[in-house]
Structure 1
């Protein structure tokens, strides 16, 4: 009896995905990265608080980064290529704070909003009509009424279950509210694209503080993931990572917000000091990277590929949705086979079964290539971070899947240096303490039903 039920479930699963694939129709695999061959070397340029630095100053900064880091060629082999394929500069003089999980992140955001003096620019994939969403709305309305200009971008698909009435008080207070790629046929734009999403999570306050990471505005983040209390299967805590930044790089994130506002044809923004003069606040070197499906390739994707291909010692990837394309899959396997310690931290619980099974369909070939895989227990992993050779870190909204690389607007911060790398390494090890390693011999003992689901979901990988 149980066998018949299981077979019926599998058949239903396959039939559903077959129908979905027919609906979308088949497409050829696109080229989502340029030629990754190394190009002629030139000096990596840095920006400071007052713009581009001289060649001599840039060389001095690069030398200091190398001196403070482990013995790794990542700066020589990776940064030159990155500077050629990414439009934004490497900016020095920043202070970066690592924020772990929702409670700490929200408290920091609340404080920044409450102390705003000039403007608040916010861009989010999801803002829910729940306790957290209403708290943010109340704060934004209060600041708008006090004379601080509020500009909000939210994704139409991501916030599809948030009623339009939720945004009405914001608009009535004078805040500018922009719906990204509206899916309502009555207000759909002429160049509307069914798959276009604004998956970014960005908050900028007074042009002086920037928040970037993986955390949406939702009550699912109300609990921390490292609590000693045992979570329930129905309401697991969400594990995520965010950043708070001050310093000259904030203006680069502000430019990305302004570009999206303009491309989505938002109402003209009220005159404010969106680009104040920024001074040095710390010693971190940061690059702001925003990717858009309008570009010929994903800048975040090619930057990550370059870092992986340049790695000599270690690659730690933490990601909620892992459905790699052939180039990323090959890069990870080749890195492990040349002796790099490649570790993937992936979810044991998920909010997307399709992605969950598609992700697991790659486990066998990755484990066979000596890539280590861990699954975070007792929490729903939603973070999107990477650490290479303990000196190259990135945190942002980008998942390791086709949707992020092809269809989404994404935003990431790249931080160079051993000091921040040490923090990232410690956080990764902390997650491993709450994780279970996947062992190849045990993995191959999974049931035929699970294997069929994995294979079926993998057929759908391109459209997840």
Structure 2
């Protein structure tokens, strides 16, 4: 009897000890997060206003019958998007994760309303959660438009079903089925001039890739009583040289991650990656280290300071292993680099909406174009070299000299990577 009683007490004590340990760990993480956020706020107040950053004018290349134009400046991109919308004759598909209610956002809203009033079929999707900070009155549209607000909460979340937690992180415009846009840019004044991002315009048969991505999402989440069903059409051409990979968490399909893993495994000479938030999972991390060991020049551009400081600190938890393994890390200075791009071996490139982090790779709805083209790869390599000119290299020697407090913060915050 005493033994059983003693055993119960011991188990209870162990449970309490584990509980206290977990609470202490969580409290330490909260404290670390609060500290790095506070320090970052001080840094922002003291920072000298950015004098700008290098960008290139839009340049086009031909990829197997498609005209692909690359944008590195938001003003150029927005003007061409608005020109396409203003010239629309039959249909506009417009889908954005973030759509601000500022001057740029209002220009797009007015252009879409004007298109609908002249008889164009206008379909709009925006993510409810990402735009909670936007005045809801901005999202009032005339009945002539078809608007789908991707809900903040879905019933599947209450069942803790991972298929229903993904946000709509995509940025797609398709006009008349003839021209499409995809990449990292959201809609807003900030992104026009202050963020360095990359976007593509597609003209040719490959526009179907973006059209089909929009149609599938619309038809899956439309409300039958309010939203018409969009017709689904097969591709006019099958061409493996320009393909869209579409993450669909509701189906547990995440091909963007597969794109990266496959390209990294095949790399023989170089891998150039630019990422806003770089938090690689074990397979991508291992793939990059293996590539560096076999002599591949692996370079990663990330913001020196991003708009999500916690993500920065979680990312830093991987720097020691990457730098020691021969991967070079380049810190983009004085501006937020938000691009989600890679180019490998001068023959393969990807541009899209997905970051190399858990949320994008196995969480959110995303779309990346993969392009097998020497000309496109050469263009992406030129852009990478341009961006390197605005970076400073983080060396292993510098990294190893960081103080004890940063090391403690990294150790506390790195376990948060599944949330990023």
1:155 corresponds to = 127
Deviation at 1:274, TM superposition (A): 8.2
TM-score, normalised on structure 2?
0.81
Alignment match of 2:176 (pick from 185, 188, 206): 206
The aligned counterpart of 2:200 is 243
Q: Deviations over 1:97-127 (max 9, x none)?
A: 0011211111110111111000110111011
Q: CA RMSD in A?
A: 2.6
Go from structure 1 to structure 2 and tell me whether the alpha carbon gap of 1:164 and 1:450 turns closer, same or farther (over 3 Å shift). same
**Shift in Å, 1:303:** 1.4
C-alpha deviations, 1:202-225, integer Å up to 9, x for none?
0000111110000001111121xx
- Match among 366, 384, 388 for residue 428 of structure 1: 384
Q: CA deviation at 1:404?
A: 0.6
Equivalent residues in 2 for 1:392-407, closer than 5 Å? 392-407=348-363
Q: Tell me how far 1:18 sits from its aligned partner.
A: 9.5
Q: CA deviation at 1:191?
A: 6.5
Query: What SS does the aligned partner of 2:320 have?
Result: helix
Matching of residues 357-372 of structure 1 within 5 Å: 357-372=313-328
Residue equivalent to 1:285: 241
Is 1:150–1:176's contact at 8 Å kept on the other side of the alignment?
yes
Residue 30 of structure 2 corresponds to residue 15 of structure 1: yes
Deviation at 1:455, TM superposition (A): 1.6
Q: How does 1:15-414 map to 2 (within 5 A)?
A: 15=30, 92-168=64-140, 170=141, 172-183=142-153, 188-189=154-155, 195-223=165-193, 237-267=194-224, 285-414=241-370
Q: 1:18 to 1:141 in 2, by over 3 A?
A: closer
User: Partners of 1:272 and 1:409 in 2: how far apart?
Assistant: 19
Shift of 1:163: 2.3
What are the Cα deviations for residues 428-457 of structure 1, in whole angstroms up to 9, with x where unaligned? 000001100001011111122212222222
The structure richer in helix per residue is 2
Separation in 2, partners of 1:272, 1:291: 20
CA contact (8 A) 1:207 1:273 kept: no
Deviation at 1:130, TM superposition (A): 1.0
**Shift, 1:414, TM fit:** 0.9
Paired positions, count: 363
Unaligned runs of 5+ in 1: 1-9, 20-90, 224-236
Measured at CA, do residues 276 and 259 of structure 1 come closer, stay the same or move farther in structure 2, by a change above 3 Å?
Answer: closer
CA contact (8 A) 1:119 1:274 kept: no
Any unmatched runs of 5+ in structure 2?
1-24, 35-62
TM-score (norm 1): 0.74
SS at match of 2:249: coil
1:99, 1:15 → 2: CA distance? 39
How much does 1:167 deviate? Answer: 1.4
- Mapped to 1, the partners of 2:28 and 2:81 lie a distance apart of 41
Higher relative contact order (CA 8 A, sep 6+): 1
- What is the alpha-carbon distance in structure 1 between the residues aligned to residue 346 and residue 261 of structure 2? 16
Distance in 2 (alpha carbons) for counterparts of 1:107 and 1:166:
21
Query: Would you say the 8 A contact 1:120–1:148 is kept in 2?
Result: yes
Match of 1:259, SS? helix
Residue 180 of structure 1: how far off its partner (Å): 1.0
Aligned residues of 1:181 and 1:264 also touching (Cα < 8 A): no
The answer as to whether partners of 2:184 and 2:352 remain within 8 angstroms in 1 is yes
Show the counterpart of 2:13.
none
Shift of 1:294: 2.4
1:155-192 residue CA offsets vs partner (Å, 9 max, x unmatched): 11111112221111x2x251111011333xxxx55667
